[in-house]
Amino acid sequence: MKPLNIAIFGSSGAIGKALCFEFSKNNSVNNIFAFSRNGVELDHQSIISKQVNYLNENSLTETSQSLECKLDIIIVAIGALEQPEKSIRDISSVKFIDMFNANTIPTALIAKYFLPKLYKDRITKFASISARVGSIEDNELGGWYSYRASKSALNMVLKGLSIEQKRSNPNSIIFGLHPGTVDSKLSKPFQKKDKEYFTPEFSAEKLVSVIDTKTVADNGKIFDWDNKIIPY
Ligand SMILES: NC(=O)c1ccc[n+]([C@@H]2O[C@H](COP(=O)([O-])OP(=O)(O)OC[C@H]3O[C@@H](n4cnc5c(N)ncnc54)[C@H](OP(=O)(O)O)[C@@H]3O)[C@@H](O)[C@H]2O)c1
């Protein structure tokens, strides 16, 4: 197998960081480029840390140009969930903009600047961490308007990318992932005492095995940590 080059965005987060270390255990991985807003260093010989502003196109241009090799896999593990709306009364434009800036727009802009860095003549994978609550069909509880909508919109962005990208590389696979309910800064305020949460390491191990199994037949779909399809 040819050595793999992988880019992970959101490497300062619990799941992003655990994904970097999980991929680093694989002998066929050459470089792991770990991108974060603050350029946090991760201590492993194959991890190269880089700082980037996900919403600034100059920053994305510069960082993408700084990569001297082609990529096999790109994973986006960026996102936020703050004070989700319990009721219609809680809806605000500021919250909607914040949620789209954290959960939707980074993946679209990263795709714009980094999909051209993927090999054109190999199987390549681009995945973004979505959330089960972004599924419209699965929504039975309501609430959390802006977070849910930002993840549903992310799923639509991934679907569009999957259609466009396969025209230039029929072996391109683009998909969404749900990591399970994971102990992290994001989930902390919503954790309940009597419920168990995945560690980021457990979730990353599961996600990497899901990513490994993906074939072109999976292009454009959303999968959970257990490799089950999540409906749009
Ligand atoms: N934890 C869960 O139970 C769970 C469940 C379903 C889906 N997810 C999804 O999994 C992904 C990773 O979450 P996590 O649990 O690892 O959370 P986390 O530890 O809080 O990490 C979040 C990551 O996103 C970045 N980020 C946060 N707010 C941002 C913003 N406004 N703009 C740009 N970047 C921002 C953070 O960067 P800084 O370090 O610079 O702040 C960090 O790298 C997210 O997409 C989340 O929606 C998590």
Please report the atom of ligand 1 found closest to the CA of residue 18. Answer: 16
Confidence at residue 48, expressed as pLDDT on a 0 to 100 scale: 97
Q: Are 108 and 164 in contact (CB under 8 A)?
A: no
Instruction: Kindly state the average pLDDT of the residues 30-38.
Output: 97
The CATH superfamily of 4-224 is: NAD(P)-binding Rossmann-like Domain (3.40.50.720)
Q: Give the list of residues 6+ apart from residue 214 with CB closer than 8 angstroms, or none.
A: 125, 127, 173, 175, 223
Q: Is 105 in the pocket of ligand 1 (CB under 6 A)?
A: no
Sheet order of strands, 172-178 included:
47-51, 29-36, 4-9, 73-76, 124-129, 172-178, 222-224
Q: Is 32 in the pocket of ligand 1 (CB under 6 A)?
A: no
Confidence at residue 14, expressed as pLDDT on a 0 to 100 scale: 98
Instruction: Kindly state the average pLDDT of the residues 37-50.
Output: 95
Confidence at residue 113, expressed as pLDDT on a 0 to 100 scale: 98
Pick the residue whose CA is nearest to atom 33 on ligand 1.
102
Residues pairing with 222 in the sheet: 176
Q: Which pairs count as long-range contacts for 116-120, CB under 8 Å and 24+ apart, including other chains?
A: 116/64, 117/7, 117/64, 117/67, 117/70, 117/71, 117/74, 118/70, 118/71, 118/72, 118/74, 118/169, 118/172, 119/70, 119/71, 119/72, 119/169, 120/168, 120/169
Calculate how far, in angstroms, residue 129's C-alpha sits from the geometric centre of ligand 1. Answer: 9
Q: Ligand 1, residues 50, 130, 186: which to mutate, most atoms within 8 A of Cβ? A: 186
In tens, the pLDDT along 54-83 reads 999 999 999 999 999 999 999 999 999 999
Confidence at residue 118, expressed as pLDDT on a 0 to 100 scale: 97
In tens, the pLDDT along 126-151 reads 999 999 999 999 999 999 999 999 99
Calculate how far, in angstroms, residue 12's C-alpha sits from the geometric centre of ligand 1. Answer: 9
Q: Does the pLDDT of residue 13 top 80, yes or no?
A: yes
State how far the alpha carbon of 44 is from the alpha carbons of 28, 48, 170, in Å. Answer: 15, 8, 33
Pick the residue whose CA is nearest to atom 1 on ligand 1.
182
Instruction: Kindly state the average pLDDT of the residues 157-178.
Output: 97
Q: Are 37 and 51 in contact (CB under 8 A)?
A: yes
* pTM summary value: 0.97
Q: Are 202 and 183 in contact (CB under 8 A)?
A: no
Calculate how far, in angstroms, residue 16's C-alpha sits from the geometric centre of ligand 1. Answer: 8
Confidence at residue 2, expressed as pLDDT on a 0 to 100 scale: 72
Confidence at residue 40, expressed as pLDDT on a 0 to 100 scale: 94
Q: Cα-flanking dihedrals φ and ψ of residue 7, to 5°? A: -115, 130
Please report the atom of ligand 1 found closest to the CA of residue 38. Answer: 40
Confidence at residue 1, expressed as pLDDT on a 0 to 100 scale: 67
Calculate how far, in angstroms, residue 26's C-alpha sits from the geometric centre of ligand 1. Answer: 24
Confidence at residue 87, expressed as pLDDT on a 0 to 100 scale: 97
